[in-house]
């Protein structure tokens, strides 16, 4: 029989709660912000992958923060490996999305892109 005290994470594993909580909070915020933008959608929306409106809030790093948090919290090398694989994958997806947004929204997106850093917010 395994005792509960044998299943507790080590102290350093608890540092994984920081990126985990931050990533979860940002994803919840993004979901709420996205739903609030529903009024900006046209009455009839085409069913394709082309963006319908430009959302100018929300970093890409939220989901990566979740993966990093889980890897540290559980002390899991396989989860850390997935996190390391996801970093370049998410970067490639973000780059493709940026090209699509620029083609769709033109100067409005270029102005946004010039003001906002790609990955982490900074104070200007």
Residue pLDDT, tens place only, 21-41? 988 888 888 778 777 777 776
Is the CA virtual torsion 106, 109, 115, 120 positive or negative?
negative
Residue pLDDT, tens place only, 42-87? 676 667 667 767 766 655 678 888 999 989 988 899 999 999 999 9
- What CA–CA distances, in Å, run from 118 to 56, 62, 73, 89? 11, 13, 27, 15
State the pTM of this model. 0.66
Band of pLDDT at residue 1, cut at 50, 70 and 90: low
Band of pLDDT at residue 118, cut at 50, 70 and 90: confident
Give dist(CA 114, CA 112) in Å, integer. 5
pLDDT for 80 equals: 94
Domain boundaries, the chain: 12-115
Query: Per-residue pLDDT averaged across 88-104, rounded?
Result: 89
Q: What angle do CA 56, 107, 40 make, to 5 degrees?
A: 45
């Amino acid at each position: 029989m395994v005792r509960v005290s044998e299943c507790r994470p080590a102290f350093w594993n608890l540092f994984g709660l920081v990126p985990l909580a931050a990533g979860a909070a940002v994803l919840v915020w993004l979901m709420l912000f996205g739903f609030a933008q529903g009024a900006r959608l046209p009455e009839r929306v085409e069913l394709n992958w082309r963006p319908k409106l430009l959302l100018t809030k929300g970093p890409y790093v939220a989901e990566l923060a979740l993966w990093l948090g889980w890897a540290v919290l559980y002390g899991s090398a396989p989860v850390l490996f997935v996190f390391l694989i996801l970093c370049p994958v998410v970067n490639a997806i973000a780059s493709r999305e940026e090209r699509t947004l620029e083609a769709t929204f033109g100067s409005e997106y270029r102005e946004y892109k010039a003001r906002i850093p790609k990955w982490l917010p900074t104070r200007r």
